[in-house]
Structures are given as C-alpha cells and as structure tokens.
Amino acid sequence: MRASLARFILRVAAWLPLTFAIWYLAAPLLAWPVALLAELFMKSAFGDLIRGVEQSGALLTFITSLKPAQGTLPGAARAVVSAESNVLLFSFGFPMLAALILAAREPHLVRHLLVGYFVLLPFQTWGVVVDVLKNVVILAPPAISAQTGFDSWQREVIVFAYQFGSLILPTVAPAIVWVLMHRRFLENFATQARGGTAQTPSATGAEHSR
Amino acid sequence: MIKFFVWFLALQAGLFGLELTPWAQQWFVVPWTNTLAAISASIVKLFDPEVISHGKVLQSTSSGFAVSIEAGCNGVEATIVLVAAILSFPAKWSRKLIGLAAGVVAVQGLNIVRVISLFYLGQWNFNVFEWAHLYVWQALIMLDVLIVWLLWVRTLPRAAPAVSA
C-alpha cells in the first residue's frame, strides 16, 4: 500500500466536494437512464398504472392512470394523478463512490467510475420506483390509493422496500461496489498494517470463528 | 468474500426488518432517538444555553427553530450496517465485540456532530441545510462506517497457513 489510511481519508475528503458538485450539475444527464429504467419497470410490472414519465432536471414526474377524487378539482373527470420522485435522493451515493475510487488511486479509474455508475443504476431505480409506489399507494387519499388495487400485504412490502431503498441502499450499495472493485487494495491495506507484503486479492485471510 | 457478502446482506436485511417492527421502535429506536436529542442538547448547552430537547426534537428557545431527529438521522441504520459488516467478517468473537463497541461509539459520535451541525445550518441557510441533510451527511456517515470497518479489519491478525500432517 502506497499510503496510510489517514492519507486515503484526506484524499476522499478532498475529492468529495468536487464529485458532489459534478454529480449535482450533471444530474439531468445522470438521471436520464434512471427515468428510462423506472418507466420500463413500472410499465412491465404494474400494467396500466403508469402512462408515462416526464423528466425535469433530476425530478421525475410519473403520469398515472389514477383518477383524482371526485369533486376535489374542477374537471377532475378528465384529470389524472401524477407522482413525483427526485432521483438525487437515491443517487447521492455515486459521488461518494467516485470519491472513494479516485482516492484509492488504483489503475483503470475511468473504467471503475463507469462500472460503478452503471452498477448503481438498478439501485437508484429501485428507490425511485418504490418512492412513486409509496406516494400513490400509501400516502395518496383513500379514493386514489384504492384504485391501485394493492392488498394490505403488498402495501407492507412497499413500505419496507421504500425504507430499505431510501435509508440503506443509497449508501450501502456504493460501499459494497467499491469494496468489490478494490479487493486487492483492501488486502494490501490490511497486509501493510500487519507488516507483510502479500497481495492476494482475498479478504478471507483473517482468523475464523464462524 | 462471497460468504461474507451473503452474510452481510442477510444480516443487514434482517436487522433492518427488525428495526421496523413496532416492538423495536417502541423499546429501542424511539428511546435511543430521544437520548440522542438529549445528548446533543447537553453538548450544545456548553456554548449555547438557549437550546432544549423534548422527545426527539432539538430546539432553540431564542429563535424557535427546531430539528426533529427522524429515521435515517438517528444513526440506527448506519449502526446496523456496521454491525452486519463486523459480524459477517471472519474473526474471533472477542475481536468482533471490541470492534462493535468501538465502532458504535465512532458512528454515533459522528452522528451527534451531524445533528448539531444540521441544527445550526438550518438556522443559517435552509438550502444548505437541505443539501447537507439529504445528501452530504448521509454519505459522510456511511464513509465513517466504511472507515471504521477498514480500521477494524486492519487490526485482525492474519490466519496462520494450514498445516497438513
């Protein structure tokens, strides 16, 4: 290992402001595949529930086939319900991953960044999809949510999937991706601490008890 | 490595599911979140006496501004990730317990810094508060978990090569 943990942490801290700034400025572009994947998944999995997705920056608006409650809006008979989701809320782990990749200074930086971005897309899509489902199935007024036809157990699954997709996945998925892409870095890192020189790409060399 | 990740994901999902149960919320999450608000208030009072906590809320008595510590900001999820990572990694139980004790303190310590910083950022600029709250601090807490786990892994002795008789 070329540098100590302290130097690695400092490099991560130095890269974070830049990666966050680029991620924010490039959000409309970075969020575009998420919009496509989310629309594809929603139309495949939930049939007629979603008519289309509109993107404005990192904000996705899902046009549903659900009708507003009668009498709540003028012209409600022709209106449909829409639900919004902000991709930034589920993609902020990417600048964290980028900072970790850049700070590790391993070969193939660009390839790692691209792989990391594409690997995280399904997790970001998960967040957006369950966010939209939460909005129309759980948070919408009963007159609207009843039209979705979800059973109570399906609502429970949506609540769990939303909590997992918003509280755990956005940060854990990038950390896992980084660990998987930098196994040799981590092995060297551990070996250096023990005063060794081994460079085996395995993280199972520690003592076992399980 | 595959075994580690399978255990890690399973433990993490299990602990997270457990956290969401009414029992865990009533007996662990809510009391912990209230304690976190009280600890944060007691630290802030050292330099700003016009701050109180009630329940999970940290409030300024002078400006009336308050922050409520909600799920995702009480450090419970980050702790679950750390616990799953340490328990899943092959090591002696004594070392796992030491790692858990030190790691939980490190994660929750930084989380208190997050709560206090957000309390003041919110009074200064709401846009900055939103950015720090929704994106930056979430990433920093997970980096803390990752670094604590890396430090712990570094302390583990390498297994002796197997000897065949």
Domain-embedded: residue A62:
yes
Inter-chain CB proximity A20 and B136 less than 8 Å: yes
Inter-chain CB proximity B159 and A194 less than 8 Å: no
- pLDDT computed for residue A204 by the predictor: 40
Distance CA B82, CA B148 (A): 8
Domain-embedded: residue A28:
yes
Relative orientation angle of helices B2-19 and B76-88, to the nearest 10 degrees: 150
At A209, is the pLDDT very low, low, confident or very high (cuts 50, 70, 90)? very low
- Do residues A151 and B122 lie in contact, with contact meaning Cβ atoms separated by under 8 Å? no
Note which residues in 51-80 of chain B have CB less than 8 A from chain A.
Answer: 71-72, 77, 80
Domain-embedded: residue A208:
no
Inter-chain CB proximity A206 and B158 less than 8 Å: yes
Number of domains in chain A: 1
- The answer on pLDDT for B138 being more than 80 is yes
pLDDT in tens, B73-116: 999 999 999 999 999 999 999 999 999 999 999 999 999 999 99
Least CB–CB distance from B92: residue in A186, A193, A207: A207
- pLDDT computed for residue A49 by the predictor: 86
Candidates A156, A160, A122; CA nearest to B14 is: A160
Torsion of the alpha carbons at A149, A154, A156 and A158, rounded to the nearest 10: -90
Note which residues in 104-163 of chain B have CB less than 8 A from chain A.
Answer: 134-136, 138-139, 141-143, 145-147, 150-151, 153-159
Contact residues, chain B, for A20 at CB < 8 Å:
135-136, 139
Angle at B79 between CA B76 and CA B80, to 5 degrees: 85
Domain-embedded: residue A185:
yes
Regarding an ipTM greater than 0.90, the answer is no
Inter-chain CB proximity B91 and A186 less than 8 Å: no
Inter-chain CB proximity A167 and B153 less than 8 Å: no
Inter-chain CB proximity B146 and A168 less than 8 Å: no
Residue A72 to chain B, least CA–CA distance (Å): 32
Angle at B163 between CA B157 and CA B165, to 5 degrees: 160
At A65, is the pLDDT very low, low, confident or very high (cuts 50, 70, 90)? confident
Least CB–CB distance from A202: residue in B1, B92, B150: B1
Contact residues, chain A, for B4 at CB < 8 Å:
203-204
Domain-embedded: residue A130:
yes
Domain-embedded: residue A207:
no
The residue range of the domain holding A160 is 2-200
**Strand pairing partners for B52?**
B59
- pLDDT computed for residue A71 by the predictor: 61
Domain-embedded: residue A205:
no
Average pLDDT over residues A47-65: 91
Note which residues in 74-93 of chain A have CB less than 8 A from chain B.
Answer: 88-89, 92-93
Least CB–CB distance from B142: residue in A5, A166, A172: A172
Domain-embedded: residue A210:
no
Distance CA A20, CA A37 (A): 23
